[in-house]
Amino acid sequence: MNYQNILVTIANNIATITINRPTKLNALNSDTINDLNKAFKLLGKNKEINVIILTGSGEKAFVAGADISEFASFSIEEGAQLATDGQEKLFDLIENGKTPVIAAINGFALGGGLELAMACHFRIASENAKMGLPETSLGLIPGYGGTQRLPQLIGKGRAMELILTAGMIDATTAKDYGLVNHVVPQADLLDFCNGIAIKIMKNSPYAIGKAIKAINSNFKEGKNGYETEIKSFGKCFGTHDFKEGTTAFLEKRKAVFTGK
Domain ranges of the chain: 6-201, 205-250
List, for residues 26-51, the tens digit of each pLDDT value: 999 999 999 999 999 999 999 999 99
User: What is the rounded average pLDDT of the residues 127-156?
Assistant: 97
pLDDT at 220 over 90: no
Mean pLDDT of 136-162: 97
Task: Say what the pLDDT of residue 40 is.
Answer: 98
pLDDT interval class at 205 (50, 70, 90):
very high
3-state secondary structure of 247: helix
- Given a cut of 90, whether residue 221 has pLDDT beyond it is no
Q: What SS3 string covers 16-39? A: EEEECCHHHCCCECHHHHHHHHHH
Quote the pTM value.
0.95
| Predicted confidence (pLDDT) at residue 219 exceeds the cutoff of 90 | no
Which residues are catalytic, by number? 115, 135
d(CA 234, CA 92): 25
At residue 64, the pLDDT reads 95
pLDDT > 90: what percent of the chain?
93
Which whole number is the average pLDDT over 4-33?
Answer: 96
**By the 8 A CB rule, do 61 and 130 touch?**
no
Query: Which residues, 6 or more positions from 244, have their beta carbon under 8 angstroms from its beta carbon?
Result: 255, 256, 257, 258
Question: What is the C-alpha to C-alpha distance for residues 172 and 182, in angstroms, rounded to an integer?
Answer: 9
pLDDT confidence band for 67 (50 / 70 / 90): confident
Fold topology of 6-201: 2-enoyl-CoA Hydratase; Chain A, domain 1 (3.90.226)
Q: d(Cα 168, Cα 201) in Å, to the nearest integer?
A: 34
| Opening angle at CA 130, ends 124 and 140, nearest 5 | 115
Sign of the Cα torsion 33, 38, 43, 45 reads positive
